[in-house]
A and B are shown apart, each in its own frame.
Chain A
Amino acid sequence: MGNDPMIEVADLTKKYPGRTAVAGLTFQVGRGEIVGFLGPNGAGKSTTMRILSCYLPATSGTARVAGYDVFTQSMEVRRRIGYMPENNPLHPEMRVREYLKFRARLKGLGIAKSRERVDTVLEQCSLTGVSKRIVGQLSKGFRQRVGLADALVHEPDLIILDEPTIGLDPEQLRSVRQLIKNLGGKHTVLISTHILPEVEMTCSRVLIMRQGRILAADTPDNLGRALSGAHQVVAEIAATAAELREAFEDIPELNDCDIAPAEGDYMRCSVTATDGADVRVQIYDMARARNWRMRELTRSRLTLEDIYVRVTRPDGGEDRN
């Protein structure tokens, strides 16, 4: 990572009439990082990206990209970013190569340079085969890659992608994610999404947003570790719900248990222990002591999805930050 950060956002606020989209956002993104913005719809992800890409001004606070202020030095910033807005708008009447060439020239590349770069990004985004096709007639996956190629064409320092994988089929998803992943190191990438596996697969750092605030910011692994104190144990035991509940009372570390009928005579119990204690042994002992049959005993690690749900839950998720 370089000396000075690629993105510096300090106390950024954006108010729309009657609504605050972004409330006092502060974060930094270092050079070469791939950072994921994660949050439910309306969390302020797109607004933040629009401010960073100089499309909208902030109500207050500052945002700097590569050391340039997005409002007062907007031209310098715009030269250094590749932005793909939500829904990836393109000119449907143009041909792929023609469109990319237009965009490259618009972003200030010379004729020879733009030709060379267009060839490179066509290759990079596996678009060479469709370079003469009309954009409006391409499938969603190809169109998405055209948008991505557009964001890359002028070799920007920072690439901002707003929900780049929305509406893609699994095969296309994989290729687009791989493409994004390959961009790290050379470019700084900021992507927004509400698809969790995407963040786990591609991002080196996650910023979880809700209602215009950052609730958590860390690597996916660290976030998992930070919250692993509350992991769950799942056991399937052949006993009645009442018996089980009574038996669980004897285990002091147990915090919470959820018992639901499973296949056959078994009950599926999801229990949460306090303080990161491992209650698997106690549960096994309990079942053996009472001569209950048990067919499953697993500890589930919290997935990013659990973290996300915990953090973004409206009722007091903030205290976990």
Chain B
Amino acid sequence: MRTYLVLLRRELGSYFVSFIGYLVIALAIGEMGLCFFSLVQSLLNVPSPLPLSELFFATPLFWLIFLTTAPVITMRLFALEKDSGTFETLMTAPVTELQVVMAKFSAALLFYMIMWAPFIGCAFLVRHFVNDPSVVDLTTMTGTFIGLFLLGCLFISFGCLASSVTKNQIVAAMISFAFGVSLFVISLFADQFSSIGGLVTLAFQRIAVTDHLQEFARGIVDTRQVVFYLSATGLLLFLTHRVLESRRWK
């Protein structure tokens, strides 16, 4: 546990001393601001019965933040260490692969959650200026953050896996970006094919991340989805662990 915390601290710290960490936060805040601005603009003209958080996820810009930041956050985790050789000093210290994987994953996830923090500010701003408290309430906000967290788990764990299989950060980012985009496209398909039915459509609907997030944003935390995200994350982290371990099989 102590080793895990030592590693976690270094990993998290490295985000805040690197250019890329601040770049990600700046981009996320910028895009979030744009989302918020376009949202408020459209609300001026057409009133909506939906809670703010749900409207927020319906804007396409939101998905841009989501799909671009996760790969950038995770790309350096293993790829950089392998490339610079520090992976060798790390793995010859008395640490287990599991500690390394978990520390890197949690650091990236924590950073990702910190990146979303300004969103709470947006919500408070709206709440301050509208009279209707149902626009932003604790339930929907909690649901939203649970959703963001679970989706984050999935995307960050995939990013870990992508970063562990290559020495090249760009390649790692491309792999995890492709993964994110495919999930997003699958969600779109699921919407379009919903009238057709069949097993494939059902499968698509089950992994439709956009729909899941909409539900979370409504304040609905469905255990099926919680199980889906957590087990998928577990599987991806297990695979990452295996990739690191595979060095010792050759």
Residues of chain A at the chain B interface (Cβ within 8 Å): 50, 53-57, 71, 75, 78-79, 81, 83-87, 89-94, 102-103, 105-108, 150
Contact = CB atoms under 8 A, between A and B. Distances in A.
Question: How big is chain B's contact interface, by range?
Answer: 20 to 34
Interface in B92-114: 92-96
A103 B18 contact: no
B91 interface: yes
Nearest to A101: B6
Given A87-B85, A91-B86, A106-B7, A57 B94 contact: no
Interface of B: 2-3, 6-7, 9-10, 14, 17-18, 84-86, 88-96, 247-250
A106 B94 CA distance: 7
Contact of B3 (A53, A55, A93, A108): A108
B91 A55 contact: yes
A161 to B, nearest CB: 12
A89 B84 contact: yes
A53 B17 contact: no
Nearest to A54: B92
Contact of A89 (B6, B14, B86, B247): B86
- The secondary structure that dominates the A interface is loop
A314 to B, nearest CB: 28
Contacts of B91: 54-55
24 contacts: A55-B88, A55-B91, A56-B247, A56-B248, A56-B250, A57-B250, A71-B248, A78-B93, A83-B92, A84-B89, A85-B88, A85-B89, A85-B92, A90-B86, A91-B14, A91-B86, A93-B17, A94-B10, A94-B14, A105-B2, A105-B6, A106-B6, A106-B7, A107-B93
B248 A57 contact: yes
Contact of B94 (A75, A86, A91, A94): A75
